[in-house]
Homo-oligomer: A and B are copies of this chain.
């Protein structure tokens, strides 16, 4: 909006491989190619676009990583539904490169979790509640193993997001999750009885779903995240340090 009117647009000769990628992308986004549909073979694309196979291959690679095309069984390429994990992985790496702090992560997670619990309280079904409770039981059974507790905790929150039935929120949360949850085992160890508090919080969250009590859900979401924060700090970490691969090792996977 506030840019000066420029005489000439920037000349950017677009490489052929980019044009190939964009052409395929257009087909996908327009709906003419639907997820699951096979993209032609490389030879076909060569004929259609009139470029060399190397060029076609480079174009395909551009789309491959974002999940817009996937390698089918064997190695054939097909249109893919980008899964959130892939996008979230990219996003979380970007956050690392931008050196965001754990504080930012924590603040955002708090906001998103509060929204999530609200919708989950509205929409949770009996089955979902049962599955969540099963997860809590499993967590309790493994309560002396911080790594297992962290894994169950991560699973619990993923399931909770699903019950909120909002995929936009789900996608928005995932990058933070990928960076925060790897630190849970640290946080759980940091607090005396940390794992037990975690289990208690989960139980109360599920309770809020049962009672359809948003206040309760929000209360325990806050407590749960505050616990994480205290544990994180007690573990010798500073909330204002940038997220990195050392403290968030699983982001490399």
Contacts and interface: CB of A to CB of B under 8 A. Distances in A.
Interface string A171-206: 111011000000000000000000000000000000
Given A30-B245, A108-B115, A67 B94 contact: yes
Nearest to A66: B90
Interface string A126-158: 000000000000100000000000011001000
Contacts of A63: 65
* Residue of A155, A166, A251 with highest tally of chain B CB at under 10 A: A166
Interface in A48-62: 54, 57-59, 61-62
Given A17-B61, A62-B61, A62-B64, A82 B94 contact: yes
A74 interface: no
Contacts of A81: 94, 97-98
A111 B169 contact: yes
A72 interface: no
Nearest to A30: B245
A171 B28 CA distance: 25
A29 interface: yes
B114 A1 contact: no
Given A108-B115, A173-B172, A97 B35 contact: yes
A68 interface: yes
B112 A111 contact: yes
A45 interface: no
A151 B66 CA distance: 28
8 contacts: A29-B97, A31-B244, A58-B58, A62-B65, A82-B97, A91-B171, A107-B119, A172-B176
Interface of A: 1-2, 17, 21, 25-26, 28-31, 35, 54, 57-59, 61-68, 81-82, 84, 87, 90-91, 93-98, 100, 104-105, 107-112, 114-115, 118-119, 138, 151-152, 155, 166-169, 171-173, 175-176, 244-245, 251-252
Given A21-B65, A35-B97, 7 more contacts: A66-B90, A82-B94, A95-B167, A107-B115, A108-B172, A111-B118, A168-B176
Q: Which 3 A-B pairs have the closest CB atoms?
A: A111-B115, A108-B168, A61-B61
